[in-house]
Chains A and B, each alone.
Chain A
């Protein structure tokens, strides 16, 4: 009974707080980016102003189904995070995340705009690039803890990080793709790259675009939750290290974003798969070996 209460508290806290924390992180990101480029940069609350503005705009859609797909994307992203923070099965979480991305891609395809379609194709390639590493991360947690359940992993006595260092580095690598940062911001990006206009979200405007932005904040917090999971060992200092490493990982992604130009999709797939093979599978073998002796 007690378990259910904490579960509900965590889910509600995630659903309420994640957009605020995510938006704040996005604002800090833009400020740091500006400072790295020698600019003053927008106010920290700028992402909230942007979304507020988008919700004030006149609704224009290419076709009716598009809005439906975006709504599904939004709901499934929320479900992904909710499942994760409820402590449910990691595989369920990953597959829900995949379904969410599929809705966004189908929505972009349905618009028939060449920019959105190229963006959608690139998003598919990106999914192919990061998916193996995400699955290996879940498998790594399973081999280490004997369970796919997040609630079981959180309360382990040992810190998963020490056994899963390779997988951790690999996961941070694919975070660049998931956060839509250069060099892997192929399908859409936060900056004004003119090559593909806005890629995936070219045809979305107003409220729909605002929803995608909020979903992105939810998704970022959920992904940082994954990073946090590596440092859980059932004690408060483990949680503290987890939060600090989450912030450090976020800063690292901002730094990478500002130091690279956009690369071709071939580089994204090749590098992500090589990382998954070497660091991910290599780590799994070593872990299995360590647990046997």
Chain B
């Protein structure tokens, strides 16, 4: 049994978000939504985290930070991009310093669009991330290494 789906600890990183999505992420922790019901804890420490929540787009200043947080997280791990900014750059896409969505630097498992993403949608995104965690855990248990995610494109995500 994969315990990882029963106790996903999250770390939240604010890229160049307008703070709208961050407030919605924190709203998930309030008594109104209470994600601790599902064992979700906000750790603030990449070494303890299983799910990486990123809000806001990636820019020249923070792409190294995002990469480093991702690398410090032990496997199995999942990345959830929250808000349209984190998905593909959103309204900041055209800015001279913005590189694009989070998937331009690290592999993203779930996209939660919206501006701002609603708490219900964020919880839904994390729950979708649990499936990824369980699959990764299974791959680990079978003794094989986790299939390396495709290297993200350097120049930014192509339009779908």
Contact = CB atoms under 8 A, between A and B. Distances in A.
A198 interface: yes
Contacts, number: 78
A192 to B, nearest CB: 5
Contacts of B90: none
Secondary structure at the A interface, as helix, strand, loop or mixed, is loop
B96 interface: no
B37 interface: yes
A203 to B, nearest CB: 7
Given A52-B3, A205-B48, A209-B48, A57 B74 contact: yes
A194 interface: yes
B2 interface: yes
B76 A57 contact: yes
Contacts of B75: 57-58
B68 interface: no
A202 B47 contact: yes
Interface stretch (A41-49, A253-261, A275-283): A41-49
A46 B38 CA distance: 9
A118 interface: no
B41 interface: yes
A53 B6 contact: yes
Contact of A50 (B7, B74, B76, B141): B7
A42 B36 contact: yes
Given A42-B37, A46-B39, A192-B41, A60 B47 contact: yes
Contacts of A49: 3, 6-7, 39
Given A49-B6, A53-B50, A34 B36 contact: yes
Given A53-B7, A203-B47, A192 B74 contact: no
A202 B43 CA distance: 10
Give 5 closest A-B pairs by Cβ, nearest first: A52-B3, A205-B47, A49-B6, A58-B75, A53-B3
